[in-house]
Structure formats: C-alpha cells, structure tokens
Structure 1
Amino acid sequence: MKTYKCMICGWIYDEAKGSEKEGIALGTKWEDIPEDWVCPDCGVTKDQFEMVEI
C-alpha cells in the first residue's frame, strides 16, 4: 500500500486507511480514485499529489 501527499496543503492519503470521511473505502488504490476527485482540504486535483514514504 502506498501513501500520497498533497503538495499544496499537505493532506495525506494512505491507501491502507482509505478516507472514510471522503467515502473512500479501506484499501482503495490511488489509481482507483476517480480522476475528477479533489483534495478535501484545498480542492486541487490528483495531479498535485505525489507518492511519499511515511
């Protein structure tokens, strides 16, 4: 499982944890999140995220 960070605001998406608040189930891969999804904190698109080691 991988972790992704918004390069604008720092919001973290962890595939293992998903994001219950955003309706994303545990174990949802980054590539399975819709392309029109936006960061819940700052509203930028997926292309503003990068994979990070936590």
Structure 2
Amino acid sequence: MDMYKCTKCGYIYNPGSGDASQNIPPKTPFEKLPETWLCPRCGATKKVFVVVS
C-alpha cells in the first residue's frame, strides 16, 4: 500500500498505521478513506495529498 503526503504540511498518511484520531483502522488504503477525512495535522482535504515514492 502506498503512503501519501500532505502537500500543505508534510504529514505522511501510512496505511499500515491508519489514523486513530479519526477512527481509521490500520491497513486502510488511502483510496478507501472517506471523502470527509482530513489531514490530522493541518485539516487539508484528501485532494492535496500526493503519493510518496
């Protein structure tokens, strides 16, 4: 699973860890995050995230 980086603040979404702050369980791919999910650091939408290669 790919990791994604917020282009506004640099936060890395790691699907292996999920996002406990928004009740996203580990092993949740970025593509499966709800459209309402926001960056836990800066509040940006999914649209500003890019794949980390």
Where in structure 1 do 4 or more consecutive aligned residues deviate above 6 Å? none
Count of equivalent residues? 53
Match of 2:5 in 1: 5
Output the TM-score relative to the length of structure 2.
0.86
Match of 1:32 in 2: 32
Match of 2:18 in 1: 18
Report if the CA contact (8 A) 2:18-2:27 is conserved. Answer: yes
Report if the CA contact (8 A) 2:21-2:40 is conserved. Answer: no
Alignment-mate amino acid for residue 20 of structure 2: E
Output the TM-score relative to the length of structure 1.
0.85
Query: Identity across aligned pairs (percent)?
Result: 43
> What runs of 5+ residues in structure 1 fail to find an aligned partner?
none
Please, what is the CA RMSD of the aligned residues? 1.1
